[in-house]
Amino acid sequence: MFRYAAFALFFIFGFVSHLSLGAEVKVMDKDDKLCLYANVTVNFSVLYATSDNKSEIATFDLPSEVTSNGSKCSNTTSTLKLNFGAGHSWSVNFTVNGNMYQADSITFSYNLSDSTIFSKSALNDTLSVDVRPHITDVSMNTCYSCMSEETIRSDSVNQTLWNVLIQAFISNGTQSKNLTTCSADLPTTPTASPTTVAPVTNATTSTPTPPTTPAPTLPTPTTGRFNIKPDENSTACLLANFALRIGIELGEKYQEINLDPNVTTASGSCGVNTSELVLVSNALIIVLTFTNDTKKFHLQAVNVTANLSSGVVFSEANSSLSLWEAAVGSSYMCNKEQNYTITGKLTIFTFNLQVQPFAVKKGVFSTAEECQTDSESFLVPIAVGVALLVLILIVLLAYFIGRKRNMSSGYESF
């Protein structure tokens, strides 16, 4: 039911399987001398469409068994090409810049007809992505070394490199023992805090304590409108409008991320009893799974994967929820800000929420069933109005009773 749950501990866009041994390649020139050396570990995450109009994510490593057909060396440009599997390849193009060399681009080609990796792919094409790595200013006759992870992201493919040792433009067929180390591997030197001498003040003078500045908070996220269609010629079968914020707890640190609908792509599927909405942005992948029992629907599962600015990949899921419940054939609405604890480490915040994952007619929302907080927001003014009306009636009743008594007293005086 929740097909992404199996990936929760090790998948999606940048996470690395550290069991991979990497690939070592030696490229020879026309004189059979070593001209390019590489020992690299690469992890790939590819988002692709399946034949049943769903989205899947394939995660796999560059295997240790590769071929280097297509690799070449010259005095000014060199290409490392690693071929693997059923028609996949990963290549890096190097150029010389004075006494330095650099990697200008990485080209990753993947064959969607390889069913061992891309199960039930809707396409059988071989696709390619070109990205630019941060391999620059490498001194000639040195090896570029980077043990730290670098994740290079594109629209549908993320590549994570680590344990990289590469030397292009090798002279005299001998690999250098000198290294150009990437900045991520260099030790950081702590900066000593300057010593501040407190000013001498008169004992009778009181120095005011500066006010504590509260930690800045994120602005309210932008409301996005997402819909899923069975095909291009059909109306929407799943509708969702909401603004979303993700709260993440890592150890003692807590941070929040707003989902930006302007850089988010929506995909998913509509079924009789199960529907899914998959949202992919630069930093987040969110999978919402809805189920129904023919009478009512609810949000049953949430899976969130986040690429944090620190380089850590966060992934949490819960497939036993019962949120956003409404009758099948209607929509669920909650305009007020709500927060939901998905796991001990994951919280989601919603604003301006309206969803309908089943029985959508003519591509528009059906009558909404409102959440309790929205209903209470209407009850308060109604209750106040009723109280005022009762108070007015009491005042009027007291007035008429008092007037009647005064009139009766007047008649008795005669």
pLDDT tens, position by position, 140-188: 999 999 988 888 887 789 898 989 999 999 988 999 989 999 988 877 5
Residues 322 and 177 occupy one common structural domain: no
Give the pLDDT score at 380: 55
Cβ neighbours of residue 219 closer than 8 Å, sequence gap 6 or more: 258
Give the pLDDT score at 276: 94
Residues 21 and 157 occupy one common structural domain: yes
| Cβ neighbours around 161 below 10 Å, total | 24
Structural element, H or E, at residue 397: helix 372-413
Dihedrals phi, psi of 39, to nearest 5 degrees: -140, 105
CA–CA separation, 338 and 332 (whole Å): 13
Give the pLDDT score at 408: 64
DSSP secondary structure letter of residue 76: S
Q: With CA atoms as reference, report the closest residue to 58 among 3, 20, 11, 15.
A: 11
CATH number assigned to the domain comprising residue 242 = 2.40.160.110
CA distances to 45, 88, 277 from 85, rounded to whole Å, are 15, 6, 31
Give the pLDDT score at 282: 84
Residues 150 and 16 occupy one common structural domain: yes
Host domain of residue 119: 11-184
Give the pLDDT score at 403: 73
200 falls within a domain: no
CA–CA separation, 351 and 365 (whole Å): 17
Give the pLDDT score at 36: 96
Residues 299 and 153 occupy one common structural domain: no
Q: What angle do CA 283, 289, 290 make, to 5 degrees?
A: 145
**Intervals of the chain under pLDDT 50:** 1-20, 191-216, 413-414
Structure tokens at 382: 């109604």
DSSP secondary structure letter of residue 165: E
Residues 177 and 229 occupy one common structural domain: no
Residues 179 and 233 occupy one common structural domain: no
CA–CA separation, 48 and 192 (whole Å): 50
173 falls within a domain: yes
Cβ neighbours of residue 188 closer than 8 Å, sequence gap 6 or more: none
Contact 301, 316 (CB under 8 A): no
